Structure 1
């Protein structure tokens, strides 16, 4: 057991049958490459992490479970906004990712608990949390695993607790993938998307509201686009030069505006 930022970190085996997913999220490097693209070129008036934090409607004293937190960007981006009375447990299924989150949050002037958690088997008692976040997590699970995860989330939430589950739409960043369609395609992770997430959540929750984050990217450099694609499964590093040339041509022809499709479901009851 390992102490970090005032909390407890424990290791559990998670999603061992999915080697590709484990490789993708062994640490924060791929995730960081994707976030750089949005941070550099977004036209929104705030970051997605700030917007997601704005969606919380919780008491000053709240128990919060953050599933699939990656390197903790939601909490680092909003470190000075977290109420003192919140007890936040930051989790991911990857031990490497959890170490990255612990390091990122080490200098934040508050305590967090850390745990490596499989969303299909959440190791906490019934009715524990006022809120659970599952941002960009559920789309990575197969249908049966996603059903199990949602059942577990409902179990650990208090009767009046709320799930916040962010995801993308099936056409998110479509212009990027269209520009390089000959080299690869969007990862097939649309099992839980803005278009179909509500129906799945209603199996466990009486009230489900979809909220959309309005954003588009105005891209002026090709290099972050290439780094983004190479962080995804299905794109080969040997194509990096051709990918960069394709994007450079696209940017040179016109203002390369890429629509985002991102939002969050707020589920309760």
Structure 2
């Protein structure tokens, strides 16, 4: 494969049987050439390259991408919505994963449609009985239809979290794993009330189910309904061990001094007002209760940032790269001090040894701030080449991880 910098197109060389012209591809796929040209124009399905005459060429893998587009279109998603979903696996050639994601989306869509049908049936029965019209029934149908947008956003949030977890699980050099190590550090007595704020998909508990003492009464909360739904699903066989609730950490809906322990695992830096949340955490903790707050240090994933700087330094100003500065290992003690006593900090020794490019690209695109929108085809290719060359030269990419947690005890406020 050669790259023509003058005209800005990728020239594909090799066996012509490996590639299809736009006409051949359209015929085999049963779509029109006009459709393919439109998908190319809006960036939904770009040709994999061009021949020496400048004609579009498609590969066998492009059939998998087209199949996904048409499947999502079939269930009623707009091309804009499909484009949003496709961004989250732009580099992904794992078609098993792609099909699993499609199946999940279709399942959500079917369930949503059945819920809307049920609401319409109830409204229809009311109309057929010629009772006084209850306009709340119509409002309910409208609200259910609008939920369609919400589960799409929730799906994207869950997909992002999976991309980040996948990178660390596959390539971390410390094979104990953060969730096992962090859980072990809790070292708590056998009969206590625990509140986790920002539980995500419940990974801390899923990874440690066999270690949880029977006397622990655990309440899992998250601001995202989609995340909480995933946590419920992942812990479905043990749901009698957990309580679930959607909670804003800045306005915790529990009575004062109800919990022996509050856990905030890599979540404080997501908040708009950390002090307000810490005041709330102090309020719901029992006297001398413990607060565990994990976060990262300023050098966490620094090599990743160094590589992005070579592509477009301005990207490092996006939220995904600045977010954790609000609460890091370097400044966390000072932030926690007004609300907690006897604060200590402990670091987790780890790093990444990456032997593949795609998982790191997926990780970057999963970060907050719509980072993927700042990558055009050429910036993406440049980053892939930079990472690929390092792996080719050294066999792997080393990335620093700087992760740890603070533990403090409730301070009695005046």
Per-residue deviation, 1:250: 2.1
- Residue 235 of structure 1 corresponds to 372
Where does residue 218 of structure 1 map in the other structure? 353
Is the counterpart of residue 159 in structure 1 residue 326 in structure 2?
no
Contact 1:24–1:30, Cα closer than 8 Å, also in 2: no
Question: 1:188 aligned to 2:322?
Answer: yes
Alignment partner, residue 83 of structure 2: none
Contact 1:217 1:259 in 2 (8 A): yes
Aligned pairs for 1:1-269 within 5 A: 27-108=157-238, 110-142=240-272, 145-181=273-309, 182-183=311-312, 184-185=315-316, 187-189=321-323, 190-232=325-367, 233=369, 234-236=371-373, 238-239=376-377, 240-254=380-394, 255-269=396-410
- Distance in 1 (alpha carbons) for counterparts of 2:197 and 2:249: 7
Q: Which residue of 2 aligns with 1:20?
A: none
Gap runs ≥5 in structure 2: 1-152
Asked whether the equivalents of residues 26 and 97 of structure 1 are also in contact (C-alpha less than 8 Å), the reply is no
Pair member with larger Rg: 2
Aligned residues: 246
- Mapped partners of 1:125, 1:100: distance in 2: 26
Distance 1:146 1:194 in 2: 15
Equivalence for 2:24: none
Alpha-carbon separation, structure 2, partners of 1:110 and 1:123: 21
Matched residues in 1 for 2:219 and 2:381: separation?
Answer: 42
CA distance in 2 between counterparts of 1:243 and 1:96 reads 32
- 1:26 is displaced (CA, Å) by 6.1
Unaligned 5+ residue runs, structure 1? 1-22
TM-score by length of 2: 0.57
